[in-house]
Amino acid sequence: MKLTHPRAVALMVLVTLMWSIAGVVTRQLESARSFEVTFWRSFFTAASLLVILPLVQGRAVFSRIRNGGPALWLSGVCWSVMFTAFMVALTLTTVANVLVTMALSPFITALLARVFTAYRIPARTWVAISMAGAGIAWMYGGQVDLSSHLGGTLVALLVPLASAVNWTVVQHSRAHGQKIDLVPAVLVGAVISSLATLPLSLPFSATPHDIGLLGLLGLVQLAIPCVLSVMCAGVLKAPEVALLALLEVIFGILLAWLGAGEVPGASVLTGGALVIAALVINELIGWRQKL
């Protein structure tokens, strides 16, 4: 199936829905916490990809990893930072601080895309990024703890920075005609993340129930959607990918509401509506201009 722009947008929405299950699933964990959660999730992501990638791309995928060049390995490092930094940040500061910091991703991505890929950001995308950022800030601004440690916020900043670099690497390599398959970079990132967090996870405390749920996250919440997101990045522009990725926050709130009984406040609903409106308006204007 040829991945057209509308199909890529729809697939990216599905990707954000899959990413968003992390919160409601981790609410069901019995004893696994912090680095151990990160380790098992990354471990099962790597294990899943070791099965998925050879089935989809053949055993030659491993030689492509060895010979992938700087772009593939840089993308892999970016994935490992994103897999790890989010959980580490949550141990150092509040969830609200982390989420507000992550909302910087579209801005950082747009700037990097402009500098390194010479992509001129349409005015509609700048407006949508501003609207979405305002919506996220409105949702969590009242909950941000300004007295929290600066270290947690700085660690959380690694997530949008790594995300922006990752999408820009994908766009830059393909814009310059480099036929580099960056899908295996997700496997590289999962392996790096699991190795980095293993020493910090000992001694293990996860129950079989926890391991089963974290295995589910490794496959459904990371392995499959991360591979699909790289495919989407081959069609969508980097700022558009980052903008659509903000839907993860909205879906995460809804799933926590339905699956964990965490009822969102009025500010969350208002801010979420603003984010969705920004995304819809951006896509509708873009499609209209192509007609």
Q: Rounded mean pLDDT of 138-147? A: 59
d(C-alpha 223, C-alpha 215), whole Å: 10
Q: Where are the domains of the chain?
A: 5-290
d(C-alpha 234, C-alpha 179), whole Å: 11
Confidence grade of residue 81 (pLDDT, cut at 50, 70, 90): very high
Using one digit for the tens of pLDDT, what is the confidence trace for 96-130? 566 667 777 777 877 787 777 666 777 777 787 78
Coil, helix or strand at residue 275: helix
Q: Evaluate whether 175 touches 51 at the Cβ level (below 8 Å).
A: no
How many residues can be counted in the chain? 291
Using one digit for the tens of pLDDT, what is the confidence trace for 258-281? 776 766 667 766 777 777 777 777
d(C-alpha 118, C-alpha 244), whole Å: 21
d(C-alpha 4, C-alpha 2), whole Å: 6
The pTM of this model reads 0.77
